[in-house]
């Protein structure tokens, strides 16, 4: 194997992520020639409609997966939070990266926090998860749809379309834009999306040589176990990345982990939360237990009410 092709989206963040993986591959196999196959996905082309109405964040993944199926690429780099609970047949996740800062971040035109934003401030987000938690804390806010890549979203903020926007802190950090963060929104304010801050490397089943080198280059098993809990929660809830669900796994001493979860109405009027603690080696079953806890509180009613 002398050449590998990485399928990636063309946004600034996606290209950063692909170049990061390329550099990691070069570090463990300098003889490899690694190239990028930049693909314009439906999620990139449809920017004037909420993602939840046109297929969710899977729109950022399916054309990338098609490149793997058609063998025009050998591996794909995704933001893990965009990856649906079920992958396309014949494909699997070869590696999970270490996690960048997982929190949501408030970016405001003035140096302010969520609690000190002016009454009735216009806040941009396209996430029902973020919207639910923002309105639970500040029901007076006006939530306005925000689409586009990270620089585009910041430009819309600077142009005065919004008083503040909420983005993933990981993306801002990776693009060298962490200085735009006016407040990191911790667990008490906004539980992150499943797998937020993590990169996923997808390959074809049976491409063992590719899988082996990718795992050597970037895989982090400790992070992968925590992500297994979060994704098991998502799968058990039957949700997508655009449903009002959140889960985050927090490592504890002695190989224990705490998994916290949320399900909420988009208007913030009903927010359900739960947490479970157990052994990290049982991460997937912990995620399912967390789902059971929220379902017992009535989460199914919320999910049914928010289906499009």
Which residues are part of the catalytic machinery?
82
In this structure, are residues 82 and 104 in contact, taking their beta carbons and an 8 Å threshold?
no
Cβ within 8 Å of residue 219, ≥6 positions away: 94, 95, 96, 97, 201
SS3 state at 160: coil
* Closest to 195 (Cα-Cα) out of 61, 23, 294, 71: 61
DSSP 67-121: HHHTTS-SEEEEEGGGS-SSPPTTEEEEEEPPPPP--EEEEESSS--TTTSPTT-
User: How far is the C-alpha of 261 from the C-alpha of 248, rounded, in Å?
Assistant: 7
Burial of residue 87 (CB within 10 Å: 0-12, 13-18, 19+) is: middle
Cβ within 8 Å of residue 41, ≥6 positions away: 9, 59, 60, 61, 62, 63, 64
Structure tokens at 232: 């098991």
User: How far is the C-alpha of 291 from the C-alpha of 260, rounded, in Å?
Assistant: 10
Burial of residue 100 (CB within 10 Å: 0-12, 13-18, 19+) is: middle
In this structure, are residues 183 and 105 in contact, taking their beta carbons and an 8 Å threshold?
yes
In this structure, are residues 280 and 223 in contact, taking their beta carbons and an 8 Å threshold?
no
Check the CA dihedral 65-67-69-74 and report its sign.
Answer: negative
């Amino acid at each position: 194997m002398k050449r590998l092709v990485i399928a990636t989206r063309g946004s600034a963040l996606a290209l950063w992520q692909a170049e990061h993986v390329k550099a990691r591959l070069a570090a463990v196999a300098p003889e490899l020639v690694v190239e990028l196959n930049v693909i314009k996905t439906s999620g990139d082309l449809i920017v004037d409609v909420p993602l939840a109405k046109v297929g969710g964040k899977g729109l950022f993944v399916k054309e990338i997966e098609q490149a793997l199926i058609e063998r025009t690429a050998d591996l794909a780099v995704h933001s893990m939070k965009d990856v649906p609970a079920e992958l396309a047949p014949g494909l699997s996740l070869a590696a999970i990266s270490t996690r960048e800062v997982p929190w949501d971040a408030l970016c405001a035109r003035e140096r302010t926090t969520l609690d000190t934003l002016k009454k009735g401030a216009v806040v941009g987000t396209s996430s029902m998860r973020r919207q639910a938690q923002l309105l639970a804390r500040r029901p007076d806010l006006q939530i306005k749809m925000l689409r586009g890549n990270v620089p585009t979203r910041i430009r819309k903020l600077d142009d005065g379309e919004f008083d503040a926007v909420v983005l993933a802190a990981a993306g801002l950090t990776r693009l060298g834009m962490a200085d735009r963060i006016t407040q990191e929104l911790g667990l008490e304010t906004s539980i992150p999306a499943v797998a937020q801050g993590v990169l996923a490397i997808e390959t074809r089943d049976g491409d063992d040589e590719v899988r082996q080198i990718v795992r050597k280059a970037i895989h982090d098993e400790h992070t992968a176990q925590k992500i297994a809990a979060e994704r098991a929660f998502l799968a058990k809830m039957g949700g997508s990345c655009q449903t009002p669900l959140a889960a985050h796994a927090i490592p504890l001493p002695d190989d224990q982990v705490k998994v916290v979860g949320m399900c909420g109405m988009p208007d913030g009027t009903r927010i359900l939360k739960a947490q479970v603690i157990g052994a990290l080696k049982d991460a997937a079953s912990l995620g399912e237990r967390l789902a059971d806890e929220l379902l017992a509180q009535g989460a199914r009613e919320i999910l049914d009410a928010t289906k499009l």
